[in-house]
Structure 1
């Protein structure tokens, strides 16, 4: 009866919610039927329903492929670097912006730092090759003019990992700081006033007021980040990577592209995608459980 009462009272809100429900149903839930391809010998000419069931044979073939383990290792490696170096970066930036006293300079800084988020990775890749290419990159040309040996930013695996991580931080740090800045606005300003009266330094205020004030936000985003450890975007490693650094740039998303689209092994590509989803869910639930037990903060 309570549900009917709310429906009658707030029917306008429920009508506004219908397009969102329809979106998730059509684009999120209906495509889940395609997961059955992972358990079939899929034939595009027969369709999903008429294709023959083969059980777990596709997964057995995947786990016997050396390229799969290489892609899985690289996925964990690149996501691990992003987690260690990229996750704290927006927190640090948000704290720095929050401490700025000049409002106009703060707004200008935020605008400039947000801009890279809206640049396509295709454009960023082109800029990177113009800057970091070994033979014609601007940086290496300048190094050569002053007598310093050229640095293989994009052709040596170790340098490529540093370049990949650094560019990722540059692209996402400004946009990622928005959430933390929003969380900081909810911190009681009287706490800062009291700290000033007690003679606390700026670092003390940050450590004892700002960081505890956004702790719940940090934990929630950390749990979600851990859930994405086995999931990685296609555009960034594909555009920045090349054949010379394929031993570290070939990840699960590029593996799926190569196997599924280039080699037409649709069942294999679907199975790898399902593997990513299941492992990612396990990571989220595990991180959420550990967080709830240790800090009493969780997302569910």
Structure 2
């Protein structure tokens, strides 16, 4: 017989030691030490938000108390949800909720369409000087204070010396008191609000439009697409995510209005409050009259929670329909 075949030697698998996780070279402390000048410049902004946005959150406890200045925040009696119930049962509750949602719903729609149109129009201007001048003119109203805007509006609609009544007299018409119809002032408010902020908002859309690849337009031109078709099938789909993100952020403010701006426009004219009295103006009038700190704090807390819920809901719906446009 042939020689017996030798058995193959057993090879023991080598023990592989798991690699130790490397320490992060750029730790937060080291990164702060490297860029300490940047953090130093950010410090005033951080301090501002901490002092004026985070510290006051401790006052939320007043929403659940019958606050009085003698006992202070912690000594005032605890009333639970009584302040919320008083607001829900008040006659003003359905009015201010409806007016707030009505004004902001119109404002969101107009606040998206008009700036988007301005951005598209500016993008079509090829002359650099005309484009820059037009952009500066559109942005300028954003830097005019609300007080100055209210003075301009008053000088237009004043019964005695307003420009509107002077034009009516030139046309042979009798002067008119413009501060009587509340529904008209919804339109005036939206016009002034759009005039003041549309140009500034168009910058975001214009920045997104300029980021669209020129090769897409060149390919469309070769295929025979005109400019309107290029805007509809290339520009708008390319900036759809930006439009949706700005819409979600706008929805997050749907329960808030600028009470100071509204009050500057209509003043103490209670006849205009039918459609102009919002949650913020209601709180403003409560503070000016007989200040119920606990009740106004409860309304403010309810307002903030409602805004948070609407943002989360809008983002959830967006994430289901168009995930690229969701904020988180």
Task: Normalising by structure 2, report the TM-score.
Answer: 0.86
3-state secondary structure, aligned to 2:35: helix
Which residue of structure 2 aligns with residue 208 of structure 1?
233
Residues 3-26 of structure 1, C-alpha deviations (whole Å, 9 max, x = no match): 674325422336734614444333
* 2:249 counterpart (217, 224, 247): 224
Residues of 2 paired with 1:79 and 1:199: CA distance? 41
Which residue of structure 2 aligns with residue 77 of structure 1?
102
Which residue of structure 2 aligns with residue 298 of structure 1?
326
Contact kept, 8 Å, 1:68 with 1:255, in 2: the verdict is no
Residues of 2 paired with 1:8 and 1:161: CA distance? 53
Once the two structures are TM-superposed, the CA of residue 215 in structure 1 deviates from its matched residue by 0.8
* 1:10 counterpart (24, 31, 36): 31
Residues of 1 paired with 2:131 and 2:137: CA distance? 10
Task: Normalising by structure 1, report the TM-score.
Answer: 0.93
Residues of 2 paired with 1:129 and 1:2: CA distance? 65
* 2:272 counterpart (245, 252, 265): 245
* 2:219 counterpart (172, 194, 199): 194
Pair 1:61 & 2:86 matched? yes
Residues of 2 paired with 1:191 and 1:151: CA distance? 54
3-state secondary structure, aligned to 1:10: helix
Residues 127-167 of structure 1, C-alpha deviations (whole Å, 9 max, x = no match): 11111234432122212321346565442122211111111
Residues of 2 paired with 1:3 and 1:264: CA distance? 54
Structure 1 regions of 5+ residues with no counterpart? none
Residues of 1 paired with 2:106 and 2:175: CA distance? 25
Structure 1 residues 130 and 24: alpha-carbon distance in aligned structure 2, compared to 1, 3 A threshold: closer
Q: Which has the larger radius of gyration?
A: 2
Which residue of structure 1 aligns with residue 52 of structure 2?
27
Residues 185-228 of structure 1, C-alpha deviations (whole Å, 9 max, x = no match): 21111111222222211101111111112111100000011111
Pair 1:43 & 2:64 matched? no
Once the two structures are TM-superposed, the CA of residue 76 in structure 1 deviates from its matched residue by 1.1
Residues of 1 paired with 2:112 and 2:175: CA distance? 30
Which residue of structure 2 aligns with residue 185 of structure 1?
210
Which residue of structure 2 aligns with residue 89 of structure 1?
114
Residues of 2 paired with 1:271 and 1:150: CA distance? 44
Bigger drift between 79-88 and 95-104 goes to 79-88
3-state secondary structure, aligned to 1:42: coil
Residues of 2 paired with 1:183 and 1:33: CA distance? 39
Q: Which has the higher helix share?
A: 1
Residues 250-280 of structure 1, C-alpha deviations (whole Å, 9 max, x = no match): 1111111111343111011101100110000
Structure 2 regions of 5+ residues with no counterpart? 1-21
Over aligned residue pairs, what C-alpha RMSD do you find? 1.9
* 2:149 counterpart (110, 114, 124): 124
3-state secondary structure, aligned to 2:89: coil
